[in-house]
Amino acid sequence: MPPFYVIGNLKMNLLSREECDEYVSQLRREMTGKTFAHARGIIAPPVIHLNRFQHLPPGFTLAAQDMSQETKGAFTGEISPLMLRDAGVGHVILGHSERRMYAGETDELVALKTRLALKENLVPIVCFGETEEERRRDETVAVIERTIRTVFSGLSSLFAERVIVAYEPRWAIGAGVTPTMTDILQVKVYLRKLFSELYEPALAERIPVIYGGSVKAAVLPSVSWEAEMSGVLVGGESLYPRELIKMMSEAEARFNSQD
């Protein structure tokens, strides 16, 4: 049975070493006596603090919030995937809505980063989603198709099934609102259709699709298993280790009830 991902994107928070150490300590305390066979935690701290997150509790792995499309060279301010791998990073978030909004990242750039991440043995978490204006113009499907075809074009089956796809409607980020379960499920169904056109149906079913956008424990059922998603990308709530563990526990209980 595939895992259920609970991915915490800490963004530009935890501004000191002390805050980071306290966060990891809280996470370890909350995990005391708990083991998860199905739920998998992933934490993405600010890159400057990756070294403070080297001792995550069992069941958690380390991610980066972004990376360069280059491995080395004269690229001031960029972070190489080789640096991330050396720092113990296993996953990397690519194309997050805030990178697209503030840094002008495009699907083409995200595609380059995705290929390089896979080549360097990092698991890319590829984000995409429509803006409020695109939603009003009923362009959600067009946005999905453009991103998926750009990122996965020419990507081998072996690489494709290693990608985690994160649908994050940009109008929901930080707004405290979420799409309905039906809205999310329709996106999931369309994604499967696209993947089936690009790859064999069996592989299309194996590519994990998760949801991100104002995720809280209270809405977890409607944005995840009821919408047939394979996990969640958590923003603000991930700053509270107890909330992440609560989501993992609820997901684990859901899996166990189906055994």
Average pLDDT for 165-175? 85
Structure tokens at 177: 């609102």
Read off the pLDDT band of 2 (50, 70, 90): confident
Count of residues for the chain? 259
DSSP 74: S
Bridge partners, 5 (sequence order): 40, 231
Annotated catalytic residue: which of 30, 168, 243, 250?
168
Q: Percent of the chain having pLDDT more than 70?
A: 98
Structure tokens at 30: 């909350």
Structure tokens at 12: 């530009």
Catalytic site includes residue 91: no
DSSP 87: T
| Angle value at C-alpha 17, between 11 and 20, nearest 5 degrees | 50
Q: What is the pLDDT of residue 86?
A: 97
End-to-end CA distance of the chain: 10
Residue 173 has pLDDT above 90, yes or no: no
Catalytic site includes residue 168: yes
Residue 150 has pLDDT above 90, yes or no: yes
Task: Write the pLDDT tens digit of every residue in 12-30.
Answer: 999 999 999 999 999 999 9
Give the residue from 148, 159, 169 showing the smallest Cα distance to 100. 169
Structure tokens at 191: 């994604």
Residue 253 has pLDDT above 90, yes or no: yes
CB 101 within 8 A of CB 186: no
Residue 1 has pLDDT above 80, yes or no: no
- Which residues have CB under 8 Å from 189's CB, separation 6+? none
Residue ranges of domains in the chain, CATH in brackets:
4-258 (3.20.20.70)
CB 89 within 8 A of CB 64: yes
Q: What is the pLDDT of residue 13?
A: 98
Residue 175 has pLDDT above 80, yes or no: no
Task: Write the pLDDT tens digit of every residue in 200-237.
Answer: 999 999 999 999 988 999 999 999 999 999 999 999 99
Annotated catalytic residue: which of 30, 49, 91, 96?
96
Q: What is the pLDDT of residue 174?
A: 66
Q: Residue type at 182?
A: T
Task: Write the pLDDT tens digit of every residue in 107-145.
Answer: 999 999 999 999 999 999 999 999 889 999 999 999 999
Q: Percent of the chain having pLDDT more than 90?
A: 91
Read off the pLDDT band of 88 (50, 70, 90): very high
Q: What are phi and psi of 204, to 5 degrees?
A: -55, -35
Q: What is the pLDDT of residue 259?
A: 64
DSSP H or E run through 42: strand 39-44
* pTM (two decimals): 0.96
Token look-up 């980071």 returns: 20
